[in-house]
Structure 1
Amino acid sequence: MESVWKEVDETPLVSVIIPTYNCASFIAQAIRSVQKQTYENWEIIAIDDCSSDTTRCIIEEFARNDERIKMIILTENRGAAEARNVGLAVANGNYIAFLDGDDMWRPEKLMKQLHFMIKKDIGFSFTGYCLIGENAKEMGVHIIPPPVLNYKELVGNTIIGCLTVMLDRRKIGNVQMPNVKPEDTALWLSLLRNGHQAYGIQEVLADYRIVYDSVSRNKIKAAFRYWKLLREQEKLNPLFAGVYFTRYALNAYMKNKRGTSL
């Protein structure tokens, strides 16, 4: 795998964007999963979104002992999209990766994904992941992506996990997460609508933690947000929005039950 770096001037810097809000129970595991990467040329930009627990103190301790870790403290709660955008604005790497404060990566995630993107000369990739509980134990559900997705294939599909995405800004340009929920899906749709494709690595390289008091676990709110995304950002008429919304609901069910998508 090392031979791939001969194709570029140097091993590229990966900027890892981690928004945090009251995740003191999990943030250390998230950061350690980056520190354990077999690929070491990365920076963490952790953006604390006004946490009221000890999240900030934990990140500060990591930053004191690892100069690759930087923390930005927001003075008011601005939400995950704005927190990520703050991080994106100061990121130094051409490659951008996303990780939430309660999720984790497998040790070879960055190495394999960079190798994949450089070899294929692509700007947008994502990987498989598995669901874990609050105790970090696997729940038996592995989400395996298709080899490639275009815009029409992504609308109504829940297969791209934000914690698995890597973007090459030299190919897709600077990005900002739209101020519409789900903001990560909104960004992926925007990129694919503009002609990019998302390439999947069909291997589990990340762990998505199910936190049962999380807002994202409220399925009614999640469904309402997705309907709003289809109508307001994607500007689909009610008929097409209804078709894709039905597909979204079926995909969400299949993904959580069997780790598959339609």
Structure 2
Amino acid sequence: MNKTALTIVSVPKAFKGKFELIQRNAIQSWKALEGNIRIILLGDDEGTAEVAKEFNLIHVPEILRTDQGTPRVDYIFESARKNTSGRWICYVNADIILLGEILEVINKISFRRAMICGRRTDIDIDYRIDFSSDVWEKTLIESVKRRGVLHGATGIDYFLHTKNIFKNIPPFALGRTAWDNWILYNCIKNKIPLIDATNMILAIHQNHDYSHAVGGANEVWKGEEAKINLALSRPGENFTLDRCNWEFSKFGMKRKLFFIPKEIKRRIPRIKLLEAPLVSVVMPVYNREKTVGAAVESIRKQSYEKWELIVVNDGSTDETKKIIEEVSKKDTRVKIINLPKQSSLSSVRNTGIKASIGKYIAPMDSDDISHKNRLLRLVSFLEANTSIAAVSSWAENRDLSGTFLSSYTTSTMPEDIRIETPLRDPVVHAASVLRKKVLSRIGFYDESYEFSHDSKLWVDIVKAEFDVAALPEYLYTIRLHGSNLTYRSESRSIARRAYSEFWRIAIEEYPIRAVRWIDDALAELGDNSIIWGTGQAARLLVDWLREKGKKIKAFIERDDARRRKLNREKILPAPVISLEKLIESKFSKIAIASSVAQAEIEEKLLQMGFNRKEHFMAVTFLLTKRIELLKEINQ
């Protein structure tokens, strides 16, 4: 039995002709939902009272109407709020058939406030559905798959939302244009998660004409009440489901990381438009005849087409130059700069950047492969988030045969990346895209660094008070082999010099200063912090908090059996609670003590309405790095 209470509210039209048939079908589908469901019919149109009585529904006959007699949207939502004691309310048009997925969806939502909508599927139904049949739902779904047509982003016929999220709704006329657009706009404006559930909820719209409205379709879309609605809805009159900032997919609910304001969206996804910003991919190369061809082809296959590739040939003595020149003849976007002799990698990169004409710079190593959507994803993110100087993605490590070796994941949020910058390379450099104007501001790559110039780059960017982010998607493949493994080993040994420059200290002072930096960061955790995780990292944090005299409020464990075991055996110094209990808890901050699930946990907390600055921080890397540094100090 579904534990979530759901109140369904609707304003039926007169039960006459085809409207009687399709509205009965819809209402009976709501009745068929399993769980604690309350159905309220509003209004006194012909047949409404009788149908409410027949199906044992709540009937509210008196409703507030416009001067023309049309039900008012503000009254409908207020009436729904007053007539439910549950958490969830669904306003739905009386011609929409709903199935059991709607209950599955609300059980997956942990936001304190949320609005769920989705596109309807249109279909002609001219028969009474036999709800006594064991196969009515299966038969209907098969029919919809064969004959149904998914409506566009304007086909919004249900609003599934948590109670008490709406106040001061304008006096819109129901059944006229623009009020639904205002609802979506209001959610975004007030930072209420707006979730597109099209992929989860099959909202079946039974087609009908506009004979119920005096004046027909013209009145609905262009009549006097439509004009009033349009005026009341501004500036949200053009908001559609495209503006949702969360969505359900086959992998579960996820934030639309690439949600872009409409004025930007016109330029970015339509990558062939002249307005799309140019991305300059800069690829240094030295004697990579076996790998450079595949690296270049991965850029040529990008779904984002507005790019130039500048290959800086650093005095190669093999067939590298010939390979690039052959590609350049076929694709003028591929350009080659030939240097007479080998230089430092930082100066080679700067040569390519200074020859570029793009708004953005995308580093690329000649051993590696870019996922076809790398540029589209990262450029879209930067266009939508103008305060971010650079963004990277996660990467996979593979050998030259393509065999998977390991994952390269990083923190994703600017606050964590800022803390980690003097402790490790905070993001994958070769997978990043950077604003060229930011590189210019910091003086490009520091050419005094033969190795670890990328480590110094992030230090310089963060010291200049710019933010860096990462997307938790694998958009880049690092191909490991003998030559670059040697380089990476040498580079790591020099990186500490760059990290030390973050504080302008001698390398010898680094371990003690870094421990103090970590302690200062962990000081964000005050008394009554909650620790998400119950493993080794959580225990390290317990030790640190005890050392600092701080109290622990609780631990979070999502596995029911493990949570019961930990509470029963009192292994941890505070209660272990479920995720549901977190919403009711008062705490200073949540410490994410899990590196493997860090991004997933952050996403879940964002879904629940928390934010990184005020409510949570990742601690696993900081704690393990602190132990490593203390061992070095005590040697």
- Judge same fold: TM > 0.5, yes or no: yes
Contact 2:369 2:476 in 1 (8 A): yes
Query: How far, CA to CA, are the matches of 1:191 and 1:215 in structure 2?
Result: 26
The structure-2 alpha-carbon separation of the partners of 1:243 and 1:50, relative to structure 1 and needing over 3 Å to count, comes to: farther
Contact 1:132 1:208 in 2 (8 A): yes
- Tell which deviates more after alignment, 137-146 or 10-19: 137-146
Q: CA deviation at 1:140?
A: 3.5
Is 1:93–2:358 an aligned residue pair?
Answer: yes
Match of 2:601 in 1: none
Query: How far, CA to CA, are the matches of 2:493 and 2:502 in structure 1?
Result: 14
How big is each residue's C-alpha offset from its partner over 1:189-218, in whole Å with a ceiling of 9 and x where there is no partner?
101101001111111100011122336456
Q: Which aligned pairs between 1:30-49 and structure 2 lie closer than 5 A?
A: 30-49=295-314
Query: How far, CA to CA, are the matches of 1:213 and 1:7 in structure 2?
Result: 41
Instruction: Tell me which amino acid in the other structure corresponds to 1:242.
Output: P
Instruction: Tell me which amino acid in the other structure corresponds to 1:27.
Output: V
Query: How far, CA to CA, are the matches of 1:244 and 1:136 in structure 2?
Result: 41
Match of 1:14 in 2: 279
Q: Which aligned pairs between 1:68-79 and structure 2 lie closer than 5 A?
A: 68-79=333-344
The structure-2 alpha-carbon separation of the partners of 1:160 and 1:218, relative to structure 1 and needing over 3 Å to count, comes to: closer
Query: How far, CA to CA, are the matches of 1:56 and 1:259 in structure 2?
Result: 44
The structure-2 alpha-carbon separation of the partners of 1:89 and 1:64, relative to structure 1 and needing over 3 Å to count, comes to: same
Structure of larger gyration radius: 2
The structure-2 alpha-carbon separation of the partners of 1:153 and 1:212, relative to structure 1 and needing over 3 Å to count, comes to: same
Is 1:164–2:431 an aligned residue pair?
Answer: yes
The structure-2 alpha-carbon separation of the partners of 1:244 and 1:37, relative to structure 1 and needing over 3 Å to count, comes to: farther
Query: How far, CA to CA, are the matches of 1:18 and 1:50 in structure 2?
Result: 14
Instruction: Tell me which amino acid in the other structure corresponds to 1:164.
Output: A
Q: CA deviation at 1:144?
A: 4.2
Query: How far, CA to CA, are the matches of 1:64 and 1:41 in structure 2?
Result: 18
How big is each residue's C-alpha offset from its partner over 1:62-105, in whole Å with a ceiling of 9 and x where there is no partner?
10000001000001110211111100111000111000100111
- Tell which deviates more after alignment, 94-103 or 112-121: 112-121
Query: How far, CA to CA, are the matches of 1:244 and 1:23 in structure 2?
Result: 40
Q: SS in structure 2 opposite 1:11? A: coil
- Tell which deviates more after alignment, 194-203 or 160-169: 160-169
Q: CA deviation at 1:162?
A: 1.6
**Stretches of structure 2 lacking an aligned partner (at least 5 in a row):** 1-257, 269-273, 516-595, 599-619, 622-635
Query: How far, CA to CA, are the matches of 1:206 and 1:259 in structure 2?
Result: 20
Contact 2:422 2:502 in 1 (8 A): no
Match of 1:195 in 2: 465
Q: Which aligned pairs between 1:42-191 and structure 2 lie closer than 5 A?
A: 42-121=307-386, 122-148=388-414, 149-170=416-437, 173=440, 175-179=443-447, 180=449, 181-191=451-461
Is 1:225–2:497 an aligned residue pair?
Answer: no
Contact 1:227 1:245 in 2 (8 A): no
Q: Which of 1 and 2 has higher RCO (CA within 8 Å, sep 6+)? A: 1
How big is each residue's C-alpha offset from its partner over 1:149-170, in whole Å with a ceiling of 9 and x where there is no partner?
4543211223422211111224
Query: How far, CA to CA, are the matches of 2:412 and 2:361 in structure 1?
Result: 21
Contact 1:143 1:259 in 2 (8 A): no
How big is each residue's C-alpha offset from its partner over 1:219-241, in whole Å with a ceiling of 9 and x where there is no partner?
3x334312333346752244651
Q: Which runs of 4+ in 1 moved over 3 A?
A: 1-5, 149-152, 170-175, 215-218, 230-234, 237-240, 243-246, 258-261
Match of 2:37 in 1: none
Contact 2:315 2:342 in 1 (8 A): yes
- Tell which deviates more after alignment, 132-141 or 36-45: 132-141
How big is each residue's C-alpha offset from its partner over 1:172-204, in whole Å with a ceiling of 9 and x where there is no partner?
645521121300111111011010011111111
Q: CA deviation at 1:7?
A: 6.3
Q: SS in structure 2 opposite 1:184? A: helix
Instruction: Tell me which amino acid in the other structure corresponds to 1:77.
Output: Q
Q: CA deviation at 1:245?
A: 7.7
Q: RMSD of the alignment, in Å?
A: 2.7
Q: CA deviation at 1:10?
A: 1.1
TM-score by length of 2: 0.37
The structure-2 alpha-carbon separation of the partners of 1:218 and 1:87, relative to structure 1 and needing over 3 Å to count, comes to: closer
Contact 2:463 2:502 in 1 (8 A): no
Q: SS in structure 2 opposite 1:123? A: strand
Contact 1:5 1:11 in 2 (8 A): no
Q: CA deviation at 1:146?
A: 2.2
Instruction: Tell me which amino acid in the other structure corresponds to 1:6.
Output: R
